[in-house]
Structure 1
Amino acid sequence: MRFLCLPGGFGNAEVLKTQLAPFCDSLCSTGDASFFFTQGQNEVKIPPEHEGFFGPPPNFTFSAEDVPGSLRFNMADFPKRDTPEETMTRAFDLSGRTTFSNIREVVDRLVGILDKEGDIEGVIGYSEGAMIAGSLLWEEARRRKISGREPRLKCAIFFCGWPPIHLATGQQVIIDDIEDDEIFTVPTFHVVGAADPFLDASMALYNMCDPDSTELFDHGGGHIIPRGKRTVDDLTIMVRNMIVAVSA
């Protein structure tokens, strides 16, 4: 299976290739997967105090906030409440429900990649890339409804995910904000870290997926893509099983 790979905010395709290298190498070693890397289209400048943390320039984001910077939390500042949805609601309140008016442009470009490549059947998103991957799943569902275009994506893998941007409003949403038929029904695999300050964001995304077709893997670390051999081996076993199931 070939995967479209979307990096986190302020990263780029080359950084994601490095972050995912052990995972990709493990899957490729048995011929289970190949990968197509892309990146956001909005080049951004990293503040001097954070230079190097997101990898070497150029640095990009997919989503362009109408009020730049309003939804960028320091890890220590991210709120914590009793449920993931309560946490995200508080985060939305702090950001003023930021609107990402370019989301249509973003998903149009990614759908264009899917159509041009022709053989991509899965998507992998890390952090912001996971947020965009969820929005892309919605766009494929919308196009099937209005034009009959069959979705190309059969599954999604989310590393340290964030809730998606709704196509109608341009705002991030949680399960309380969507209709029953907007829950993600394609098989999804969520890789989270118990020590991730943004864990509630990942769990809010997980809660937007059909419980009968989703899996959760906790690597125990922070807001990172796991790279240790034992963890990667365990992770790829589960991903291989998902690939087999959706390819049957």
Structure 2
Amino acid sequence: MKILCLHGKGTSGRIFKSQTGICTASSLHNHQLTWIASLRSKLETVIPEFEFDFVDGPQPSSPAPDTPLFYEPPHYAFYEGTDISAIRAGHKWLRGTLERNGPYDGVLMFSQGCALVSSYMLYQQWYEPNAPPPFHFAMFICGGVPITALKDLGVHVSKEVEDLDARTKKQLLEKTTAEVTRDRWQLTDYASVVRRAQFDSDDCFGLNLNKIPAELKIRIPTVHVFGEKDPRLPASIQLAGLCDPYIRKVYNHGGGHEIPRAKDISEELAQLLQWCAIRGTWPGQDTMHR
């Protein structure tokens, strides 16, 4: 089983590998808990071989605002800016990567990696409806679909959604927390708002999921990991709402725009990735939900 791993903007494959703690078994020491250690113990009896492929984005980039100083350059991005031509150029690079290094069974992503893959899959489903999906399963961590991609695909995006998207991106750059969602949705009970927004909602943080056609809903098993303090929380939940609710799981790691490293959370994520990998490779999965 081969899993493509895509980092966030302003980091790299090497940094993403370090952030997730995915390494070879021989490098474990001092009882360090890593995703791979937990994942291997859970999957080895079901899936005998698996491989994580960490790649660098094609564009040199300045370091992300939240990248620790001990992560040395170079830093990369999959695309720069938010215009559709840049995103589509990222899609071209991804297609080339899949052709050269694939096929892949699954994909594990953080932040801009999520934006790249989710939008790529939606474009493929819309323009190549008979093509098989590029992956059998996906885990999205703190990321959403670019609003410009949704608009280009014909989805109605209100000014409210665009303003919220711009505001959360600004807060992320300024390293502030998710107060952005408290002005309208009053997240005193944010969990119920998040839960309600995922299921065919006409108000998923301003996006009407009921008016989006089935061709623009991702139909492979997915896991969506978000942090309640992440300014980009709305984008993560909107992406979850664009995936099949019957083969989807959502997990709140409790923090901000980050890859969680705590032992108990790592174990939960390993279990979620296990579920997603097994569900995505069930016989008949490729022909379901089309």
TM over 0.5: yes
Deviation at 1:42, TM superposition (A): 1.6
Residue number among 140, 144, 149 corresponding to 1:158 in the alignment:
140
Name the aligned partner's letter for residue 118 of structure 2: G
Q: Given that residues 99 and 169 in structure 1 are in contact (C-alpha distance below 8 angstroms), is that contact kept between their aligned partners in structure 2?
A: no
Using structure 1 for the length normalisation, give the TM-score: 0.74
Which has the larger Rg?
2
Q: Given that residues 5 and 53 in structure 2 are in contact (C-alpha distance below 8 angstroms), is that contact kept between their aligned partners in structure 1?
A: yes
Q: CA offsets, 1:11-70, max 9 Å, x none?
A: 1110000011222342234445421111222212349x87745932111111221xxxxx
SS of the aligned residue for 2:138 comes to strand
Gapped regions of structure 1 (runs ≥ 5) = 66-97
Find out whether 1:198 has 2:232 as its counterpart: yes
Using structure 2 for the length normalisation, give the TM-score: 0.64
Structure 1 residues 205 and 17: CA distance shift in structure 2, 3 A: same
Find out whether 1:63 has 2:79 as its counterpart: yes
2:36 aligns with 24
Deviation at 1:231, TM superposition (A): 1.3
Q: CA offsets, 1:201-237, max 9 Å, x none?
A: 2112112212122110111112111112211112212
Q: CA offsets, 1:144-198, max 9 Å, x none?
A: 43xx442231111000112245288399967548433211121110011122232
Find out whether 1:34 has 2:80 as its counterpart: no
Aligned-partner Cα distance in 2 for 1:51–1:227: 15
Q: Given that residues 79 and 89 in structure 2 are in contact (C-alpha distance below 8 angstroms), is that contact kept between their aligned partners in structure 1?
A: no
The percent of aligned pairs where both chains have the same amino acid is 30
Alignment of 1:125-144 (within 5 A): 125-142=109-126, 144=128
Residue number among 205, 213, 216 corresponding to 1:179 in the alignment:
213
Aligned-partner Cα distance in 2 for 1:42–1:151: 25
1:11 aligns with 11
1:211 aligns with 245
Name the aligned partner's letter for residue 123 of structure 1: V
Q: Given that residues 123 and 153 in structure 2 are in contact (C-alpha distance below 8 angstroms), is that contact kept between their aligned partners in structure 1?
A: no
Aligned-partner Cα distance in 2 for 1:190–1:183: 14
Gapped regions of structure 2 (runs ≥ 5) = 22-33, 162-206, 283-290
Structure 1 residues 198 and 104: CA distance shift in structure 2, 3 A: closer
Q: How many residues align?
A: 213
SS of the aligned residue for 1:191 comes to strand
Q: Given that residues 7 and 56 in structure 2 are in contact (C-alpha distance below 8 angstroms), is that contact kept between their aligned partners in structure 1?
A: yes
SS of the aligned residue for 1:120 comes to coil
Aligned-partner Cα distance in 1 for 2:84–2:122: 15
Q: Given that residues 188 and 209 in structure 1 are in contact (C-alpha distance below 8 angstroms), is that contact kept between their aligned partners in structure 2?
A: yes
Q: CA offsets, 1:76-118, max 9 Å, x none?
A: xxxxxxxxxxxxxxxxxxxxxx414122221122122222333
Name the aligned partner's letter for residue 247 of structure 2: S
Aligned-partner Cα distance in 2 for 1:13–1:110: 14
Aligned-partner Cα distance in 2 for 1:109–1:25: 31
SS of the aligned residue for 1:225 comes to coil
SS of the aligned residue for 1:215 comes to strand
